[in-house]
Structure 1
């Protein structure tokens, strides 16, 4: 099940042009395109005439023309022309979706359009701030992952796996000796792990040129339904970063917006804002190449999980301490979905 009254990322801004872009979101086929003025439009990807995907058509004068019989739809999904006849049949329309461009992403509201409040989009200001450098993940394209979207949320909230899956890049055995704190709020869960006076992970040794131990932090904030900010970094021991004073050292975010495609497939949009080496093309390349490798290592693990689940979906799981934040997020999301369904607010 999905939370529909929420903002999801449908595409990177550069993905959407005047050629129709097809994408399945929350089991719904959607087509995106831009008008001549640059406005993004999102419509149901199914013509009301004979159910041909509209993404197989073309954009003509800001209207989407079906490739089968030429019916044309405006930005609101209303059929405005039918070739060969003067009158458009009553009710000829397709669903339109509210969309907003922000932080380089196209956000879409999949539920009741009257509830689409732009203030509910996460305030990821690092993406636009001049003091931060942003590298778009996966070359500005979503990762297509063959797993349920909550497996991705679990992965992002459980950074203990870094010591095993990412040992050569951002992992370090020392983090396993430090407990995880879980904070719960009405719309989010935070995982906090503070690691004082330990050896830096390989990436931090390279990026920060640290000569000895460092203080490390891992703070992951997951917002309902599927947006996650991984705030991690290292600084000199005793510099104050563990008390929240972090405009120093090596600090960056891994921002992930996960959009369900189906019950067993997902889109992951991610980006890396950083506050160090802003003009370094070499560091940009590290994020483009090495951190893409990190994400692909996670993809391999999560897809293997999904295959195992599919083979025996009724088999139970054993939980350990580090699962706390992920379990809290699953419970919170289930609560929101239950409340939405109970209120009868999911219809468009």
Structure 2
């Protein structure tokens, strides 16, 4: 299932430099992203209108991208600007273009109806712009369905087991956590409080904790503002006010997870990790390296899930008590898909 009328993270702005292009598949459609020499960003169907040659095999020249087969040239809007050997350019020579936008170092793409692409809806990620924060970008090509990634981020009880060697900590702490799930019709918010916890090694390295901590994990998912999940997590020394908003004595990390379907069984996972941890002695770099290991653990688990789902496609999932946020998100996405389908009938 794909929801088309939604903003997706297509990549990082730095991925597409002036005069360069990048081929990617989104929602099972081939797309070429390119940037003209003047800096204009374009996203076109990666198929020349003449003989179906991938435009990404060509090159960007000035303000156009040129097909390498017969030299047809296209601008960022998809209009054909030149056909060698003839003056007349039929309207049918144009190729489909997709709305794109750049914000907070991300390239965003809209795969649905162009007239509905409202850039004001795109979620803000201010940590990328705040000089007090450090952050690092990552890209993973994950061999699993995109909804499994959304499930994984909203189901933090898996942390105790999948991430036992990194951020996991004590399993009983996770399953006895104070958990609340809120849903307002468009956004799912999961909040977990884990007071008086033994800090995992990643947190000790980042925060320098000597004893137990009060931990929190909050996940926000509002797909109407972009298929991105924001995870705010951290820890403070026990009893110092973490749950009342006083977190200066600890540290905070924010993970921004861009989940973009490539096909039904593969996903572009475009994510960043951000922290306000002190830069002295390289604390953020240590944290980033260790958290990368954590996300690699997720990747292995998701791909193992997908292999078994592909083996047994008719078998359903069993629901358990900790699935509250996951179920809300799945229902929200189903409703968005139904609305799209109804609008086209």
Same-fold status (TM-score > 0.5): yes
- Please classify the TM superposition score into its range, dividing by the shorter chain length: over 0.9
Please report the TM-score for the alignment, with normalisation by the length of structure 1: 0.94
Match of 2:146? 149
Note the C-alpha offset of 1:228: 0.5
1:168 paired residue among 149, 165, 182: 165
Is 2:176 the counterpart of 1:177? Answer: yes
Is 2:302 the counterpart of 1:305? Answer: no
Note the C-alpha offset of 1:39: 2.0
> How is 1:94-113 mapped onto 2 (pairs within 5 angstroms)?
94-113=95-114
Match of 2:198? 199
Secondary structure of the residue that 1:91 maps to in structure 2? helix
Match of 1:46? 47
Note the C-alpha offset of 1:286: 3.6
Q: In the aligned structure 1, how far is the partner of 2:147 from the partner of 2:196?
A: 33
Q: In the aligned structure 2, how far is the partner of 1:90 from the partner of 1:340?
A: 28
8 A Cα contact 1:132 1:278, kept in partner: no
Note the C-alpha offset of 1:336: 1.0
Please report the TM-score for the alignment, with normalisation by the length of structure 2: 0.95
8 A Cα contact 2:7 2:227, kept in partner: no
8 A Cα contact 1:180 1:322, kept in partner: no
Note the C-alpha offset of 1:100: 1.0
8 A Cα contact 2:202 2:287, kept in partner: no
Q: In the aligned structure 1, how far is the partner of 2:130 from the partner of 2:236?
A: 22
Secondary structure of the residue that 1:327 maps to in structure 2? helix
Q: In the aligned structure 2, how far is the partner of 1:263 from the partner of 1:311?
A: 14
Distance 1:248 1:337, change over 3 A: farther
Q: What is the number of equivalent residue pairs in this alignment?
A: 340
Note the C-alpha offset of 1:186: 2.4
Distance 1:280 1:78, change over 3 A: farther
Q: In the aligned structure 1, how far is the partner of 2:116 from the partner of 2:304?
A: 37
8 A Cα contact 1:190 1:221, kept in partner: yes
Note the C-alpha offset of 1:279: 4.7
Q: Deviations over 1:107-149 (max 9, x none)?
A: 0111111111112111211121122111222xxxx21001100
Match of 1:314? 314
Match of 2:189? 190
Distance 1:322 1:23, change over 3 A: same
Q: Deviations over 1:223-256 (max 9, x none)?
A: 2163101111000112221133334411111110
Q: In the aligned structure 1, how far is the partner of 2:59 from the partner of 2:210?
A: 58
Note the C-alpha offset of 1:169: 1.5
TM-align CA RMSD: 1.5
Q: Deviations over 1:29-72 (max 9, x none)?
A: 10011111212111110111111111011111210110111000
Q: In the aligned structure 2, how far is the partner of 1:332 from the partner of 1:190?
A: 13
Q: In the aligned structure 2, how far is the partner of 1:150 from the partner of 1:90?
A: 38
